Structure 1
Amino acid sequence: MPCNTRFGSIPRASLFPPDRQACMKVKTLLAAGAEPLEQTSALPVFPIAETRFGRMFTLQGDSVISRSLRVYGEFAGDEVDSILSLVRVGDHVLDLEANIGFHTLALARTVGPTGHVISVEPQHYCFQLLCANVTANQLTTVNCIRAGVGDVPGTCAVPRHDPVRRHNAGATPVSLEPGAAHPTDTVPLITVDSLALPRCDMIKIDTEGFEDRVALGARRTLATLRPALYIEIHDRDKLQRLHGLLQPLGYSLLLHRTRFFRSANAAGEPVNVFSPNTGGTALIALPPGRSPSGPLPGETRSLG
């Protein structure tokens, strides 16, 4: 049975019906003020979440993104809306890194059948669920790549988390030192420029500390294809390096702050399971002639 959203009719994938009993148990715990992640034994390894952009497999033990998808049907909704304001029907976009694919689904629904999304994710289970979620939602315009992204091609090490043990999959950095954490997987390290894209309209970069390296590895793409950028910011030094790289290329820069929870979430859940001010800071970089399609939620400050 199709699910009608403002992005059109989304086909229900019969291959994974939701575990409604487990979902109801999570909601009951939440309503009682309990911490639902402490009750993960009630969930399968890859619980199903009904999200704003389609039904998704999630990671049982992930304490942030997957948890938010199960409780709210979305993660960082204001951030996602801001990213989508930089995207148009038919655009070609990059999702770096994609986690289990919530942003990827949002981007694919927005660019539509004439657009294209390349989603890159280095983690083992996140990549498996990214591919599963793209396939189960019948998205034929998404290409998934298992790799890290940096400034030079090579290899990198990425931790492999137990999917049922508590962890934050969205805060898992890659390392250039093999075996820096145990257990780890060795995966390719690619650059944006190495993709040799004929077109690129927007790049979302959330690579856990590698954001400035990703931008360095995209210099040719930035200079020739002029994509808009939405870049997660972790510290002032990386912000300064990105500012020094992007401003000479003619980009206008905005600092953008959003919170993970919003009361107008997809599930209508009023309880904030995160700390009140928990959220993210990003650098929005706009080439000449580009601007968001509407007002940005959250807090915005111009950096020139």
Structure 2
Amino acid sequence: MTKRYDEISVMNKNSRESRYFLQDGYKFRPVSIHDSQAKHFWQHHPYAGWVDVCVDDVTAVMFLANDDGVALIYHAFGPDSYESTSVAIWLALARECKNIVDIGAFTGLYTILAQRAAPTASVISVEPNSASRARLINNLVWNSCRIDQVSPCAVAKTVAVLPLFVPMGADLLDTGSKLSDADSVSRTEIVACAPIDAILDSFTMKTPDLLKIDVEGFEEQALQGARRTLTNKATLILEVQTRFREQCRAILEPAGYQLFAINDEDPDLSPPLHQLSEQQLNELQPRPDSTLNLLCVARPGHLLLAEKAVARIRDLVS
């Protein structure tokens, strides 16, 4: 064995022994990628290897080279920990769907859960960041998932070629790659962009049931390129920035959707956004750059499944 191998083995042993959820007195709590304890763990207890991921009764693995915040959270905080409410809703809906799309798939959590929960479903992953996509495919392989439905495109209103700005450095995978507002840039990739409907056509998927859309400020353009998908009343989990929330509402609510804010810190769904006052909306997203996951639903059965998923996470917290 090499000296470096021995060093990594010692590092991993320390990391495994330091995991928060295994410590005496630990109480389950939902965790976001910006959590201060998660950052502390990443800095002081690095880990390189496979991480167990468990959401409800679905298990998987994700590779971590101390570079993926999603895998890190499952490693440090245990089952159901990452964005608990949103992920639980996704899993509950995916179990009942046949055509599923994960847009902004990053390293594959939502894709893997969908494929493992609904093995006969068609699941498309869309991820333009080449480094994240490479890890996504690696994770799919080691979870015995299909890898033939991964698109390298970014989503936009029309077909185009645009720069993708990646904020993080070479030693970190980043969930925040974007086509606009490049305040901090580590590297730039030139990527092909296409409407969601066109991307689905390339995989011969005409009637999706469920989509997750995480496109870092391009959500309005993404929805404008998904007119047929919205006509089919596919359920969406949509990450939206404050400054684009009303534009997205203007597309979705006239199409028959109700929009509910997902609370990933204190498991809950808000009342429909159209019932909230301006003050209540501002409390949900106090800053122009605040992000919020929205459940956008036009199928009553899907809302019921989402509410049961929220209740499951609430029981874990209580």
Instruction: Output the TM-score relative to the length of structure 2.
Output: 0.70
Kindly provide the CA deviation profile for residues 116-173 of structure 1, in whole angstroms up to 9, marking residues without a partner as x.
11011111221001001111111137611112112122122224544425x7x12232
Matched, 1:109 2:116: yes
Whole-angstrom CA distance in 2 between matches of 1:193 and 1:49: 34
User: How many Å apart are 1:20 and its aligned residue?
Assistant: 6.6
Deviation at 1:58, TM superposition (A): 2.6
Task: Write the letter of the residue equivalent to 1:219.
Answer: R
Matched, 1:60 2:78: no
Q: How many residues in Structure 1 have an aligned counterpart in Structure 2?
A: 254
Structure 2 counterpart of 1:37, one-letter code? W
Q: How does 1:263-278 map to 2 (within 5 A)?
A: none
Q: Which amino acid aligns with 1:281?
A: L
Q: CA deviation at 1:288?
A: 4.2
Aligned to 1:285: 296
Matched, 1:183 2:187: yes
Matching of residue 92 in structure 1 with residue 95 in structure 2: no
**Paired letter, 2:293:** A
Change (3 A) 1:187 1:205: same
Q: How much has 1:229 moved relative to structure 2?
A: 0.8
Higher relative contact order (CA 8 A, sep 6+): 1
Quick check: 245-254 or 283-292, which moved more? Answer: 283-292
Alpha carbons 1:203, 1:228 under 8 Å: kept:
yes
Instruction: From the superposition, tell whether residues 82 and 89 of structure 1 become closer, same or farther in structure 2 (CA, over 3 Å).
Output: closer
Mapped partners of 2:75, 2:209: distance in 1: 31
Q: Distance in 2 between matches of 1:214 and 1:282?
A: 15
Aligned to 2:31: none
Q: Note if contact 1:156-1:175 (Cα within 8 Å) is conserved in structure 2.
A: no
Give secondary structure in 1 for the equivalent of 2:85.
helix
Within-5 A mapping of 1:175-214: 175=180, 181-195=185-199, 196=201, 197-214=205-222
The DSSP-based 3-state class of the residue aligned with 2:87 is helix
> Could you say which residue in structure 2 is the equivalent of 1:36?
41
Q: Gapped runs of 5+ residues in structure 2? A: 1-7, 24-36, 268-289, 314-318
1:70 pairs with 2:75: yes
Displacement of 1:290 in angstroms is: 3.8
- For residue 203 of structure 1, report the CA deviation from its aligned partner: 0.7
Residue 297 in structure 1 maps to residue 315 in structure 2? no
Q: Deviations over 1:211-254 (max 9, x none)?
A: 1211111012211x22111101221x311111111111111222
Residues 38 and 145 of structure 1: is their aligned pair in 2 closer, same or farther, counting only changes over 3 Å? same
What is the alpha-carbon distance in structure 2 between the residues aligned to residue 59 and residue 260 of structure 1? 30
CA distance in 2, matches of 1:26, 1:149: 37
Write 1 or 2 for the structure with the bigger share of helix.
2
Write the distance in 1 (CA, Å) between the matches of 2:176 and 2:252: 25
Q: Which amino acid aligns with 1:193?
A: D
For 1:81 and 1:280, the matched residues in 2 are separated by: 19
* Alignment pair present for 1:51 and 2:57: no
Structure 1 CA distance for aligned equivalents of residues 190 and 181 of structure 2: 10
What is the aligned counterpart of 2:265 among 259, 262, 272? 259
Query: Runs of 5+ in structure 1 lacking a partner?
Result: 1-18, 262-278, 300-304
1:222 aligned partner: 230
Tell me whether 281-290 or 26-35 shows the greater mean CA deviation: 26-35
Q: Does the 8 A contact of 1:247 with 1:253 survive in 2?
A: yes
Task: Report the secondary structure of 2:310's partner residue.
Answer: coil
Structure 2 CA distance for aligned equivalents of residues 142 and 82 of structure 1: 25
Q: Secondary structure at the match of 1:57?
A: strand
2:135 is equivalent to residue 129 of structure 1: yes
- State the distance in 1 between where 2:148 and 2:100 align: 10
The verdict on how the C-alpha distance between 1:50 and 1:245 changes in structure 2, with shifts beyond 3 A counting, is same
* DSSP-derived class of the 1:75 partner: coil
Instruction: Provide the secondary structure at the position in 2 that maps to 1:35.
Output: helix
TM-score (structure 1 length as normaliser): 0.73
Aligned CA distance change for structure 1 residues 248 and 192 (closer, same or farther; 3 Å): same
Tell me which amino acid in the other structure corresponds to 2:75. R
8 Å CA contact 1:155, 1:176 repeated in 2 = no
C-alpha contact (below 8 Å) 1:105/1:134 kept by paired residues: yes
Q: CA deviation at 1:24?
A: 3.0
Could you tell me which amino acid in structure 1 is paired with residue 76 of structure 2?
A: V
